[in-house]
Amino acid sequence: MAIELMHVEIPEAAKFRDLGQNMRRVLRLHKRARQSLSAANTHDLRVALRACISSADGMRELDTHEAWGEMRKHAKRLFEKLGELRDLQVQRRWVRKMSAVRDSASSRLLNELAARKGPALRRARRALKRFDRRAWRQWAALLSKRATQVPPGDLAFGQLALRRWADAEALHFVALEKRTRADYHALRIAIKRFRYTVESFLPELAAHLSKDLVRVQDVLGEVHDLDVLDALAKKALRPGARKRWRHHLEREIQQRIIRYRKLTMGERALFSAWRAALPGDDRLHDSAVAWLAAWAHFHDPRAVHTARVARLSLQLFDALAAARLRDPFHDAKARAKLEASSFLFEIGTTAKRTARMIREIAAPVGWSRYEMDYIADIVRHRAGRRHVRYAARPQDQRQAISRLAAVLRLAIALEKAGVQGLSLEVSPEAIVVRAEGFDETGNAAQGVSAAKKPLESTLDRLVLVKATDYVVAQSAESEEE
């Protein structure tokens, strides 16, 4: 008969808390654990620490501020020391559950666990004492503000969840094929990372996925617990008792592996269900751009400025597409590359340095090195300099890059001129840009005049930038009506 220790209800940790709330919760639970290292207190503190570690892991992929690594290291140190004690507490529960009667073998195992508990308790108490509450409060104040710069539920975090899901799915297939305990252990950790990423950054998605994620994680967690207990039995028991216990443990482990396979294969196919809840093919480009925009936000000292440039770039692109101009203005992928370029063009000190930095960024899910190289060439080319990578491309790609770079260059100049919005009038001879907030006699007008020349050259028509006042125009229209 199988031994049941699973709890499939959604735990308290699955209820969304932002980083600031989780870090304050760590302080409360740390104080409680110093008073009593009970199983419940140990578990609760580790859950809170894990949530903070997960947030740090995710944010470090966007934000390179050193405080993320410091907080994570501090939390990880306490988390691991508490983990040693938690493992002994869980194994003790398993031994009691699996022993119908208190025989010599179970007594020997319990005695071995009791002997290990004392040193583990002392190490956990030392770790609790060394935990720096003052530094933790400082990190909480700093990092909670930095974390809110990309709000929970942002499409950028869909990219992060996709990465975690892809890692877990790859290990899922490895475990199904090789069926080794080490592979199932690696899979358990990957699913845990996916779960905590969803719960830390995508609260609405977590409400739908957490129950199944907890169920799968519990099954694999029990496989791990039983495997650890198997190692203990191998060391602590005499040959006859060892054989009986290990046979019993192996049966329990295999029952849980079968349960895992039923949960993740066939009609349920939980991995497919989880993937369906993440950004699909129709949103991969949007989520890729969102990820790069979020990354750029933490690396660009003028992020507000570049966000305005991105908005003007897209307005120009969409107006040119509406006018049915030639490639690449009909291509949604080109639009996504232009948008990404608009967010990334100022992360470096020079166009050359910026292009190099872009090529070093890991490609978002759904994109490849090709897209990242393409964006780098747009950013490099908008400075007006030809380079070897660009020159080596086919003619159609050079033309598309030059047009997108020209749009970006004009958008940058328009933003510097204080333009708030624009519309286009296109004829076979000229493109008239009606720019809201543009002063044709101002100091920035000369920069706009120079910036429009690459677009004139690549489109082979005159580009005129004229001032307009949309509010007045609309008011006049309303009065006439």
How confident is the model over 232-272, as pLDDT tens digits?
A: 988 888 888 888 888 889 999 999 999 999 989 876 689 99
Does 186 lie in the same domain as 241? yes
Is 233 within the bounds of a domain?
yes
- Cα distance between residue 43 and residue 54, in whole Å: 16
Confidence of residue 120 (pLDDT cuts 50, 70, 90): very high
Q: Are residues 308 and 218 in the same domain?
A: no
Residue 429: the pLDDT is: 85
Which of 92, 125, 151 represents a domain boundary (last residue)?
Answer: 151
At residue 132, does pLDDT exceed 60?
yes
Q: How far apart are CA 243 and CA 233, in angstroms?
A: 9
Mean pLDDT of all residues in the chain?
90
**Residue 233: which of 247, 220, 222 has the closest Cα?**
247
Q: Is residue 2 a part of any domain in this protein?
A: no
In a domain, 7, yes or no: no
Sequence-ordered list of residues with C-beta below 8 angstroms from that of 314, at least 6 positions apart, any chain? 335, 338, 339, 342
Q: Is the domain of 106 the same as that of 222?
A: no
- Residue range 350-374: average pLDDT? 94
Share of the chain above pLDDT 70, in %: 93
Would you say 47 and 11 are in contact if contact means Cβ atoms under 8 Å apart? yes
Provide the phi-psi class of 348: left if phi over 0, else alpha when psi is between -120 and 50, else beta: beta
**Percent of the chain surpassing pLDDT 90:** 76
Chain segment 291-320, per-residue pLDDT in tens: 999 999 999 989 999 999 999 999 999 999
Q: Tell me how many domains the chain contains.
A: 3
Rounded CA gap, 105 and 374, in Å? 66
Contact 169, 274 (CB under 8 A): no
Do 200 and 272 lie in one domain? The reply is yes
Are 298 and 403 part of one and the same domain? yes
Answer yes or no: do 136 and 208 share one domain.
no
Both 273 and 304 in a single domain?
no
Other residues' Cβ atoms within 10 Å of the Cβ of residue 411: 27
Shared-domain flag, residues 326 and 470: yes
**305 and 422 assigned to the same domain:** yes
Given a cut of 90, whether residue 406 has pLDDT beyond it is: yes
Residue 326 binned pLDDT confidence (cut-offs 50, 70, 90): confident
Please compute the mean of the pLDDT values over residues 108-118 and round it to a whole number: 92
- Domain end call among 261, 278, 295: 278
Residue 480: its pLDDT value, please? Answer: 35
- Per the structure, the complete domain to which residue 287 belongs is given by 283-480
Residue 3 has pLDDT above 70, yes or no: no
Q: Does a structural domain hold residue 257?
A: yes
Q: By the 8 A CB rule, do 225 and 94 touch? A: yes
* Whether residue 7 has pLDDT greater than 50: no
Q: Cα-flanking dihedrals φ and ψ of residue 439, to 5°?
A: -105, 105
Are 161 and 198 spatial neighbours (Cβ–Cβ below 8 Å)? Answer: yes
Cβ within 8 Å of residue 30, ≥6 positions away = 45, 78, 128, 131, 133
- SS3 assignment for 370-417: HHHHHHHHHHHHCCCCCCHHHHCCCHHHHHHHHHHHHHHHHHHHHHHC
Residue 21: its H or E element: helix 19-35
DSSP 3-state percent helix, strand, coil across the chain (nearest 5): 75, 5, 20
pLDDT of residue 215: 93
Same domain, 405 and 290: yes
Question: What residues contact 413, with CB distance under 8 A and at least 6 apart?
Answer: 444, 447, 448, 450, 451, 452
Q: What is the mean pLDDT of residues 64-77?
A: 97
Strands 430-436 vs 462-468: parallel, antiparallel or unpaired: parallel
- Does one domain contain both 167 and 308? no
**pLDDT tens, residue by residue, 457-479:** 999 899 999 998 533 334 333 33
295 and 362 in one domain? Answer: yes
Is 6 part of any domain?
A: no
For 246-294, the DSSP string reads HHHHHHHHHHHHHHHHHHHSTTT-HHHHHHHHS--GGGHHHHHHHHHHH
Of 100, 133, 151, the position where a domain reaches its end is 151
Residue 101 predicted with pLDDT over 80:
no
Record the pTM: 0.87
Contact at 8 Å (CB) between 272 and 173? no
Mean pLDDT within 194-217: 94
Q: What is the pLDDT of residues 30-56, one digit of tens each?
A: 999 999 999 999 999 999 999 999 999
Q: Classify residue 40 by burial, with Cβ atoms within 10 Å: 0-12, 13-18, 19+.
A: exposed
Question: pLDDT digit string (tens) for 179-194?
Answer: 888 999 999 999 999 9
CA 395: distance to chain centroid? Answer: 36
Q: Residue 471's pLDDT is what? A: 39
Q: Determine, yes or no, domain membership for 4.
A: no
Greatest pairwise CA separation for the chain in angstroms:
99
**Per-residue pLDDT at 16:** 78
What is the SS3 assignment for 225-246? HHHHHHHHHHHHCCHHHHHHHH
